[in-house]
Chain A
Amino acid sequence: MRMGTRTRMTKNTASRPKRQAGRRHPLTAVALITIGLFSTGGVYTLFTSSASAANSTATAGTLEDGGKLFAANCATCHGVNLEGTKNGPSLIGVGAAAVEFQVATGRMPLAQNGPQAEKKPVQFTSDQITALYTFVASRAPGPAIPDAKYLQANGDTAAGAELFRINCAMCHNIAGAGGALTQGKFAPPIGGVSPQHIYEAMITGPQNMPVFNDMNLTPQDKANIITYLKFLDKSPSVAGYELGSLGPVSEGLFLWIFGLGAIVGVTVWLAAKSN
């Protein structure tokens, strides 16, 4: 045993000068600098792409701005520490996506209490919105702003259409024209909504909408749904004016008022006595 240790030790001592020699290799400095540059650059790229903040000093500024904006516009109902009050839910863990959706569609800040928050003109600039969601997301983890690759509307339209019919149409109507819920709540029409907001709505479940997490609908499923909705947005109706896409009610109303109205007009004209 002793002998063995000794031999090992000798071996170690023998190898030390070799390593020292390696450290002094003339290319070491170059390699180190390269590694250093790459890692700094990598981290930098990572930061900018994930948080979409310009740099670390800017993030600090944004956070500070977000905190101020939050205190001035949101804290009354959601609490100074996001803990919620009896007028508004806690925002701990809602994530950047929820804040972005609610604020960038104008639903928040709320104008008045009602069955649900309604879409209205946006109150903040996009920088302010960024500051707000960065601030809220900094307090607790939650759904982040969706990756841009899912928002390109270049997925599988047919798969998206089927998922839409199964998961979304019962509230939002088959053509996305909206529908009624209980107690004055409603699923809003979703034509013309931006891909990012569609995605955020699915992962955060605003108002009365359920959350469709990634186990339920994978990010690719969500991208397919977005693809279908964008297809609906950009394809003109093949069969003429759609009468609001509300189904047989608007068709019947149209027929009685304009169809039968025109016909009755003709009968009156035909039966009129010439003067």
Chain B
Amino acid sequence: MSTTTEQPGTEQQGTEISPTRGQRFTGAAANYIDERTSISGLVKELGRKIFPDHWSFMLGEVALYSFVVILLSGTFLTFFFQASMATVIYDGSYVPLKGVEMSAAMSSTLNLSFDIRGGLLMRQVHHWAALLFVAATGLHMLRIFFTGAYRKPREINWFIGFVMFILAMAEGFTGYSLPDDLLSGNGLRIIDGMVKGVPIVGTWLSYLVFGGDFPGTAIVGRLYTVHILLLPAILVAAIGVHMLLLIVNKHTQFAAPGFTNDNVVGAPIMPVFAAKAGGFFFIVFGIIVLIASLFTINPIWTYGPYDPSPVSAGTQPDWYIGFADGALRLVPPGWEVNLWGATLSLNIMAPILVLGLFIVLVAFYPFIEAWITGDKREHHIADRPRNSPTRTAIGAAGVTFYAVLWAAAGSDIIATHFNLTIEGVIHGCQFLLIVGPIVAYHVAKRVCLALQKKDREVALHGYESGRIVRLPGGEYIEVHEQLNEYERWKLVSYNDYKPLMIRPDANGRITFRQRLRAIASGWFFEDRISPVTRTEIERNSHDDH
């Protein structure tokens, strides 16, 4: 691990003392295992893995830990859940459903909630942990995006992470559909509608998925297999690869004195980080259990068994599917075309295409940006968001786009709770969906440039001290204090890019690709504030004194 350095202090060992009995046992046991597995090489390699100390670097861990909680609580739930749509008459403890006809899935979920010790807590732990899992994943991705931590060599890991985000949403949705209560059935009905909206083959696809006409008697069993076998297997494998690449690529870090592109500064996994992370796991677990024990989530007994006729007010998907629900809500009325006796449901196809494009853009963003910038260098220093104004602006636009779709999914709740008309909320969201990202893009870009300008100003001339001095001539000036070298380092160390110049290739031609790239590069780097150079600082300090 030639590229790692340790923080001074972590290496300091206590003075040698003779080993105690416990230490002798540990040593003997470790030796026993090592002689049979040669694990010491791996431990040596892994144990020296360095984790930088920054709160935003722990969000991925939160996602991992909540996934572990999901696995544990989910395993408990499988012991009692029956993934069957066979009709039963409920005869459990919950009085308002006694004698009501429902599926075995619903009935067993009710039994889990009311008649199995700890079942309700486990259900709520599972559901809350799922919400937290996707939320932490999303926040983790935002951190990676805005610090540019997806740049070479980490593009592939970004892509794997993004696939996991999609898988997590799929996991969430299949889980939401399992209890076969009214809410989950309504969610499936929307999926059914979307499948049926596919041109030409939609109806047959829907028959294929549901094993006949909706809702049929097969879907819960099928979703169960997907939910507890297929998706978790892929997720676990993807997490493995994600972690492996994390070790291979090492962590990024923010620029600081001694924190360079060629090293990682922080705590090694053994023993400091492992202890911290272990504790952190239990904190995350504890917070989830605390929430689950105090706050209701998905009270299926209120929703009752699924019946295709009723749809409750306030029927929404869980938060991470909200953006898709919002997209459906924002389609203007009448987007249907009749062609040769067949209906083309643009009201379904348009949102699916728009969301598909959005997802593809996010998934491949690292490759797109690398092509535009033409940057083939490795990057191990995380950018401050302000130092890449166009990227930050694109991110702000994307977040705004997503947020508007997300808000639109709660349009009815917004309408009732803010005394608005639902049409007004929908129209407002439609307007914001188009205009919001544009405004966010420009505002974010200008704010970044302004912050960069301010940084440059501070690096060159120091910060305002608030001390006013009257000169002998009567003039008042505010004294500027110079930054020390360490503070200045953080402000001036970032990459400077310039728009690519179009150059003829080997055949003396300028290709279309090159022109396109030059335009994109121009858009990316046209507005920029160069970092302060050493000569500028030196010249400036000579001027001052």
Contacts and interface: CB of A to CB of B under 8 A. Distances in A.
Interface stretch (A68-76, A95-103, A120-128, A164-172): A164-172
A255 B113 contact: no
B276 A270 contact: yes
Interface string B50-65: 0001111111001000
B409 interface: yes
A263 interface: yes
A252 B322 contact: yes
Given A178-B416, A270-B276, A252 B55 contact: no
B100 to A, nearest CB: 6
B429 to A, nearest CB: 14
A179 B412 contact: yes
B295 interface: yes
A171 B139 CA distance: 35
Interface in B177-229: 182-183
A246 B131 contact: no
A105 interface: no
B307 interface: yes
A259 B319 CA distance: 13
A242 B296 CA distance: 5
Interface stretch (A78-86, A135-143, A182-190): A182-190
B339 interface: no
Interface in A196-240: 228, 231, 237-240
Interface in A128-182: 157-158, 160-162, 165-166, 169-175, 177-182
B132 interface: yes
Contacts of A240: 124, 292-296
Interface string A241-274: 1110111111111111011101110111011110
A270 B58 contact: yes
Contacts of A248: 183, 298, 316-319, 322
B144 to A, nearest CB: 15
B450 interface: no
Contact of B416 (A161, A179, A182): A179
A158 B99 contact: yes
A36 interface: no
Given A186-B416, A243-B296, A162 B313 contact: no
B412 A180 contact: yes
B97 A158 contact: yes
A183 B423 contact: yes
Contacts of B287: 259, 262-263, 266
Interface string A56-79: 000000000000000000000000
Contacts of A241: 294-296
B100 A259 contact: no
A115 interface: yes
B297 interface: yes
Contact of B413 (A242, A249, A272): A249
B507 interface: no
Contacts of A242: 296, 299
A180 B416 contact: yes
B312 A174 contact: yes
Instruction: Give the residue among A186, A253, A272 with the most B Cβ atoms within 10 A.
Output: A186
B381 to A, nearest CB: 18
A112 to B, nearest CB: 13
A261 B294 CA distance: 16
B298 A251 contact: yes
Nearest to A252: B319
B156 interface: no
Interface in A30-60: none
Given A239-B124, A249-B316, A251-B298, A271 B423 contact: no
A237 B413 CA distance: 21
Contacts of B420: 184
Main secondary structure of the interface of A (DSSP, over half): helix
Contacts of A254: 295
Contacts of B412: 179-180
Contact of A239 (B53, B113, B136, B310): B113
Contacts of B421: 115, 182-184
Contacts of A187: 313
A246 B311 CA distance: 14
B296 A170 contact: no
Contact of A271 (B55, B96, B291): B55
A243 B294 CA distance: 10
Given A157-B95, A183-B421, A256 B135 contact: yes
Interface in B287-344: 287-288, 291-299, 301-304, 307, 309-319, 322
A161 B182 contact: no
Contacts of B183: 174, 247-248
A239 B55 contact: no
Interface string B38-81: 00000000000000011111110010000000000000000000
Contact of A170 (B136, B313, B411): B313
B460 interface: no
B140 to A, nearest CB: 11
B259 interface: no
Contacts of A268: 55
Contact of A263 (B54, B99, B284, B295): B284
Interface string B402-427: 00000001111101100111111000
Interface string B236-262: 000000000000000000000000000
Instruction: Give the residue among B135, B280, B293, B416 with the most A Cβ atoms within 10 A.
Output: B416
A112 B327 CA distance: 36
A264 B182 contact: no
Nearest to B135: A260
Given A169-B312, A243-B295, A182 B422 contact: yes
Interface string B139-153: 100000000000000
A45 to B, nearest CB: 37
Nearest to B413: A249
A246 B292 CA distance: 17
Given A173-B312, A260-B132, 7 more contacts: A174-B304, A239-B297, A239-B299, A248-B319, A260-B135, A267-B56, A271-B58
17 contacts: A115-B421, A165-B182, A165-B312, A166-B310, A174-B302, A178-B313, A183-B421, A238-B120, A248-B322, A249-B409, A251-B318, A258-B291, A259-B128, A264-B139, A266-B284, A267-B55, A270-B58
Can you list the 10 inter-chain pairs with the closest CB atoms, starting with the nearest?
A179-B313, A252-B319, A184-B421, A180-B412, A174-B312, A239-B296, A267-B55, A271-B55, A161-B96, A267-B58
